[in-house]
Chain A
Amino acid sequence: MSVELPSHRSPSTSAVEASAPADPGALRVAPSPAFFERLRTIVGREGLLAREGELFAYECDGLTLTPKRPLAVVLPTSTEQVAAVVRACREHDVHFVPRGAGTGLSGGAHATEGSILIECSRMNRILEVDPADRFAVVQPGVVNAELSAAIRQHGLFYAPDPSSQQACTIGGNVAENSGGPHTLKYGTTTNHVLALEVVLPDGRVQRFGNRLGETSGFDWVGAIVGSEGTLGIVTEATVRLTPIPAAIETLLAIFDDVVPACRAVGRVIRSGVVPAAMEIVDRRTIEAVEASVYAAGLPTTAGAVLIVELDGNPIGLPDEIAAIRAACEAEGCQAIEVARDEAERLRFWRARKGAFGAMGRLAPDLYVHDAVVPRVHLPAILAKVGEICDRHRLKLANVFHAGDGNLHPNICFDRRDPDELARVIAAGAEILEACVAVGGVITGEHGVGVEKRDYMHLVFDADDLEPMYRLRETFNPDGVCNPGKLIPTTRFCVEANPKARGYGEVPIG
């Protein structure tokens, strides 16, 4: 006799039968005027925004689909204020959502029904820099690039470099476990956060971790980084600082097509060289970039461009350059150039960094997808993504972190066209399914947020999600802190269909 293997799967729940997830705040009562008065007492008149226009401007972050106006926005200036705001929310039964600069692309900082936003932009001081032990203590509103600028004098930088680094904040980076082009060598935010101060959803202030990045017990810091603000509000972060490499070399290789470029990436990985970054820009993006103010002077015959950045001891770089050259030439690249100076290096990167803007000008809305596949599947998945978008008559371009297998299909569209919007959403789902089918995942750096919450079931079944609920409930048992993000709100709506996410509510202009 054998015991049946236990499971949390609810056998009767199917995609068809599952009803839309009940928004936990859908039937919430509007808070009393006393609540707003209390907030004003805590953060001051200047720190509370509640006019119609103010709430409107805060209805979304970098993801403009699924907008939701908050009840109010508070701009605290200290940990104590954050904690007091959280306690006030609890007493008045109001949910709260932390927000940094609002550059996230998965809607992690969108308000939910009956919630206020706690925006940390005014908590923007660098509290301590220790060049000897290489760490910095910062408030959550410190801007990523400005931290690096502030420590350059010590020969150090903060390694995670999301594309939005000139505006995004460390607090937001911690919530999203942000990556960037250079994560290939340096890792993502989680590899660079040593300690955190967090206002827990019950209003208590708790510190986690130390300046070493290793503790003798549970790795709470590791669990909180990337938790998308659902476990509490980070009010201080101690981050690791990295020495600026002694030398940087940037190569640009031009290929006829994206497939050999991807194969060249595979060869580099196999060669044993670990570049700091390996990025691919495809033909459609090159066309868009070259037609824009960001033109990098790429030949019109270019079907794909591979940018490889190497850094480290200058003694070792010539051999690595040779290895990259060999890998690209073995895949028949048209040309390969090594940047001779900083100006040329910036020109190489312009093709990559201007892509988002150049694509953005082609249509009113831009949907930047984010999925990861094992790198060996890159050529096949790119063909598949192209096929999906062609079939849905959508304009697509690819720029991606090839070294990580992290795809960013950019789809241009106009959300005022309901049919096109529906096709964008359908194509997005198909892209995610295709990536998961080859062993990939649905997000590599943008986060799940509200955008991909209901696609979590593509990667994780109910049994896989169960420990995630347990973690969330340890910190946030009644779901008051950033509800409805990252994992489905309740355990039984895993397979709810995307319409339940409110895309139907997107205002058609």
Chain B
Amino acid sequence: MSSAWDEVMAEARAERIVVPGATVEAVLAPADVGALGRVLAAANAGSHGLLVMGGRTRLHQANPARPLAAAVSLEAITGVDEFEPDEGVVHARAGTPIAALREVVAAEGWELPLDPPGASSTVGGTIASAATGPRAHAFGGVSDAILGLEVVGADGVASKCGGRVVKNVTGYDLAKLYCGSYGTLGIVTGAWLRLRPRPAVCEAVRAWPPSVPELFERCRALARLDSVRAILWHESPGEGAPEVVFELAGSDAVVAHDRERIAAELDVDRVGTDRVDALRDERAIDPSTLAPDEVVLRARALGSRSEALVNAMLESGLSVSVDLGLGVVHARGCVEAIAALERIRERAISEGGFAVVSAIAADRVGAIDVFGPQDGGPALARSLKARFDPAGILNPGRFVEGT
């Protein structure tokens, strides 16, 4: 039995990776889906826990892992297999960097509707973590872009779900389940993605709003303009004036119209759309840079109640980076007591949303559940996990409810 695993491990390279609750010393980078299947089959047979990783942007956004034997990197399973410019769909392998895929499709007039924070994000990692950015305002969630997935299960068996067509109800919508499940049900190896036409015009403007209440008041109407696809606002207590950036995309006429509407409400100046990218990527935190009692949260509240949530965070001394219109709040700062952190989460839940701990200093790992309470409780999550990964080899312990 163990010989298969030994054979697999013989291919591993030595590399140290530290994640919450565990340190891994060996990285496996299977060359293709077949090799990945063999890795998983061997790990499954011997119940060896694996860390699953793509661009490593959100590896630290996890509960403490149970013992890990190695990391599996999707770095070698990469590339754009099929791209149909006449169809507006693309197939990319999991390890393909988002930035590279974005360029490939842009050359033919298409836009990839994925906008995860972090320059090294990959297709697979973005799907596994369902990571969205400020442009989710127009793009929607990650699963909205997924037409079909290829997955290798914990037992090493490759399967697919969905397809390459833009409308499909053939079978259960498993892609929804895989998306955002952090690789705990299976490892995504490739995806058919739906593209959007590249807008004729894409530009950004920024303003310094007079006050938080006025900002929310004015943006309520501005968020509904056709061409507005991101409104990103950030404020750090004690650090200069808060800045709000609008990204507009669409036809000349509509963008010009909407730009004027914004200018009628706020004093704006033009700025490059890379400002939106920069602010988005600031949200991808390297946990080693955190102070001992510093935390990073991603919280979300119902649109009409996001102002209350933001105020609560500002009052707690956190700096915030907010997607107005989505009600998404990225908060960072020092929180001395875990109980205070729990209170912020409760506040987000009471405002109709949730709060995920994106990063926390190493010595406080495990002190708070990263994902918070779940619908269906531990029983349902564990029941699902037990059916997809009975030996518990995929990211064990790292996701919700100990899965």
Which A residues lie at the B interface, using CB under 8 A?
Answer: 1-3, 5-8, 132-133, 176-177, 179, 183, 187-188, 190-191, 206-223, 225-227, 243, 266, 269-274, 312-313, 315-316, 319-320, 372-376, 401, 404-406, 439-448, 452, 456, 459-460, 463-468, 470-474, 486-487
Give the distance in Å from the alpha carbon of A452 to the alpha carbon of B168 in the complex.
Answer: 13
Interface residues on B, range: 35 or more
- Tell me which residues across on chain A come within 8 A of B160, comparing CB atoms: 460, 464
23 contacts between A and B (CB under 8 A): A2-B38, A6-B157, A8-B157, A183-B167, A190-B173, A210-B354, A212-B302, A216-B355, A217-B374, A220-B380, A223-B174, A312-B254, A316-B254, A374-B84, A374-B164, A375-B87, A406-B167, A440-B165, A444-B168, A459-B171, A466-B157, A468-B174, A486-B171
- Tell me which residues across on chain B come within 8 A of A272, comparing CB atoms: 109, 197-200
Given contacts A6-B37, A456-B170, contact A376 B86 (CB under 8 A): yes
Give the distance in Å from the alpha carbon of A312 to the alpha carbon of B258 in the complex.
Answer: 13
Given contacts A220-B376, A312-B226, contact A319 B167 (CB under 8 A): no
Give the distance in Å from the alpha carbon of A464 to the alpha carbon of B383 in the complex.
Answer: 20
A3 and B167 contacting across the interface, CB-CB below 8 Å: no
Give the distance in Å from the alpha carbon of A475 to the alpha carbon of B374 in the complex.
Answer: 16
B169 and A444 contacting across the interface, CB-CB below 8 Å: yes
Q: Which of B167, B304, B387 is close to A470, meaning CB atoms less than 8 Å apart?
A: B387
A215 and B167 contacting across the interface, CB-CB below 8 Å: no
Give the distance in Å from the alpha carbon of A389 to the alpha carbon of B238 in the complex.
Answer: 74
Given contacts A219-B177, A456-B171, A471-B177, contact A374 B375 (CB under 8 A): no
A217 and B173 contacting across the interface, CB-CB below 8 Å: no
- Tell me which residues across on chain B come within 8 A of A467, comparing CB atoms: 151, 153, 159, 161, 174, 185-186, 388
B209 contacts chain A at the CB level, 8 A cutoff: no
Give the distance in Å from the alpha carbon of A48 to the alpha carbon of B200 in the complex.
Answer: 59
Given contacts A243-B224, A401-B167, contact A191 B387 (CB under 8 A): no
Mask for B120-150, Cβ within 8 A of A = 1, else 0? 0000000000100000000011011000000
Which of B86, B163, B180, B300 has most A Cβ within 10 Å? B163
B303 contacts chain A at the CB level, 8 A cutoff: yes
Given contacts A218-B177, A223-B173, A448-B171, contact A210 B165 (CB under 8 A): no
B172 and A315 contacting across the interface, CB-CB below 8 Å: no
A274 and B169 contacting across the interface, CB-CB below 8 Å: no
Give the distance in Å from the alpha carbon of A464 to the alpha carbon of B174 in the complex.
Answer: 10
A6-B155, A208-B375, A486-B172 given. 9 additional CB < 8 A pairs?
Answer: A6-B41, A7-B157, A132-B303, A212-B327, A212-B353, A222-B177, A227-B172, A405-B167, A474-B383
B300 and A212 contacting across the interface, CB-CB below 8 Å: yes
Given contacts A243-B224, A463-B159, contact A468 B171 (CB under 8 A): yes
Give the distance in Å from the alpha carbon of A445 to the alpha carbon of B169 in the complex.
Answer: 6
Given contacts A216-B356, A440-B163, contact A177 B34 (CB under 8 A): no
B158 contacts chain A at the CB level, 8 A cutoff: yes
- Tell me which residues across on chain B come within 8 A of A191, comparing CB atoms: 140, 144
Which B residues lie at the A interface, using CB under 8 A?
Answer: 4, 7, 34, 37-38, 41-42, 84-89, 109, 130, 140-141, 143-144, 151, 153, 155-161, 163-174, 176-177, 179-181, 185-186, 196-200, 224, 226-227, 250-254, 257, 300-304, 327, 352-356, 371-372, 374-376, 380-381, 383-384, 387-388, 399-401
Which of A132, A187, A270 has most B Cβ within 10 Å? A270
- Tell me which residues across on chain A come within 8 A of B165, comparing CB atoms: 372-374, 404-405, 439-441, 444
Give the distance in Å from the alpha carbon of A463 to the alpha carbon of B152 in the complex.
Answer: 10
- Tell me which residues across on chain B come within 8 A of A466, comparing CB atoms: 153, 157, 159
B226 and A3 contacting across the interface, CB-CB below 8 Å: no
- Tell me which residues across on chain A come within 8 A of B227, comparing CB atoms: 313
Give the distance in Å from the alpha carbon of A459 to the alpha carbon of B252 in the complex.
Answer: 43
Give the distance in Å from the alpha carbon of A227 to the alpha carbon of B172 in the complex.
Answer: 6
- Tell me which residues across on chain A come within 8 A of B151, comparing CB atoms: 467
Q: A419 CB to closest chain B CB, in angstroms? A: 30
B251 and A176 contacting across the interface, CB-CB below 8 Å: no
Which of A207, A208, A212 has most B Cβ within 10 Å? A212
- Tell me which residues across on chain A come within 8 A of B168, comparing CB atoms: 372, 441, 443-444
- Tell me which residues across on chain B come within 8 A of A269, comparing CB atoms: 86-88
B173 and A222 contacting across the interface, CB-CB below 8 Å: yes
Given contacts A372-B167, A443-B170, A459-B171, contact A470 B303 (CB under 8 A): no
- Tell me which residues across on chain A come within 8 A of B197, comparing CB atoms: 271-274
Q: A231 CB to closest chain B CB, in angstroms? A: 8
Give the distance in Å from the alpha carbon of A445 to the alpha carbon of B303 in the complex.
Answer: 31
- Tell me which residues across on chain B come within 8 A of A214, comparing CB atoms: 141, 300, 354
- Tell me which residues across on chain B come within 8 A of A445, comparing CB atoms: 167, 169
